[in-house]
Amino acid sequence: MTPITPFDITPLRDVPRTIRRPEYVGRPAPKPYTGSDVQTSEIIEKMRVAGRIAADAMHEAGKAIAPGVTTDQLDAVAHQYMLDHGAYPSALGYRGFPKSVCTSVNEVVCHGIPDLRPLEDGDLVKIDVTAYKDGVHGDNCYTFFCGDVDEESRLLTERTQEALNRAIKAVRPGRPVSVIGRVIEAYAKRFGYGVIRDYTGHGVHTAFHSGLVILHYDEPRMDTLMQPGMTFTIEPMLTLGGHDTDVWDDDWTVITTDGSRVAQFEHSLVVTNDGAEILTLPSSPPPPM
């Protein structure tokens, strides 16, 4: 497959003034979050709404994937869906990011900027969508297939989704957050996959990214204990090669140093009394891969 290279980027998309914006829009960076990792039941209920909008926008964009379609067109679909549901695209204007979602193709790990590159048959297309609604964020990512994907890429994708599922099942109050990375890395190692280390899960709620860090590899020193009401993302990025990464000159697009393909899945979730609840479930289940 042809390596991914930068293409032209279209102008910023408009958002009606009637839609509430996060505080960081128009600023160089968000205000540091100093609150609790544990959220109120009111915040969690709002996150269910924002999370559902984010999931539905993501899968709506996924339906548009086909050879010849640009990632800019996918951005337009998700952007309009969020606006139609009264939500602001959280990525738009976050630390200057110029688009409403991240689209990361093949060896692009994450934070790919939607542009005018036409998708090719066999591409792995990761769409990362975060919606801001009623003061909270819902954040998720899914790996879609463009046309006919080779068996190696298909298995990588299915197993990355399974790694996320296993990590969510490992969430329990009283356990350290390190168990999440331990489960993901142990599963990935069975297949010889690399686990991206430089980019992590994070606390999410009224803040897009709080100070809570969720690693996807085994690091016992991450000893923060999970508590009911904690909200965060788990978003493993597994590669067919190594875990080393580089960043393009746009200061956003992350690629694998060895050019190996990457799959990623992400959910926002809340720790419950006996496990975890996914907050980014779509209105209807996505079709099977």
Confidence grade of residue 286 (pLDDT, cut at 50, 70, 90): confident
Q: Which of 206-220, 228-242, 273-287 has the lowest mean pLDDT?
A: 273-287
| Residues in contact with 113: Cβ distance below 8 Å, sequence separation at least 6, in sequence order | 9, 97, 98, 99, 102, 103, 250, 252, 253
- Tell me: pLDDT of 289 over 80: no
Task: Give the single-character DSSP code of 2.
Answer: P
- Residues 199 and 213: their CA atoms lie apart, in Å, by 10
Distance (Å, whole) CA 95 – CA 214? 21
Virtual CA dihedral for 77, 96, 30, 83, nearest 10 degrees? -20
Judge whether 111 and 262 are in contact, CB under 8 Å.
Answer: no
Q: Is the pTM of this model over 0.85?
A: yes
CA distances from 114 to 228, 238, 243 (A): 36, 21, 23
Q: Say if strands 245-247 and 254-256 run parallel, antiparallel, or are unpaired.
A: antiparallel
Residues 6+ positions from 179 with CB-CB distance below 8 Å? 170, 171
AA letter at 245 = T
> 196: which 2 tokens?
């991206």
Residue 221: phi, psi to the nearest 5? -70, -10
Per-residue pLDDT, averaged over 24-46, amounts to 97
Q: Which pLDDT score, from 0 to 100, does residue 164 have?
A: 98
Mean pLDDT across 128-157? 98
3-state secondary structure (DSSP) of residue 82: helix
Vertex 136, ends 275 and 78: CA angle to 5°? Answer: 100
- Radius of gyration of the chain, Cα coordinates, nearest whole angstrom: 18
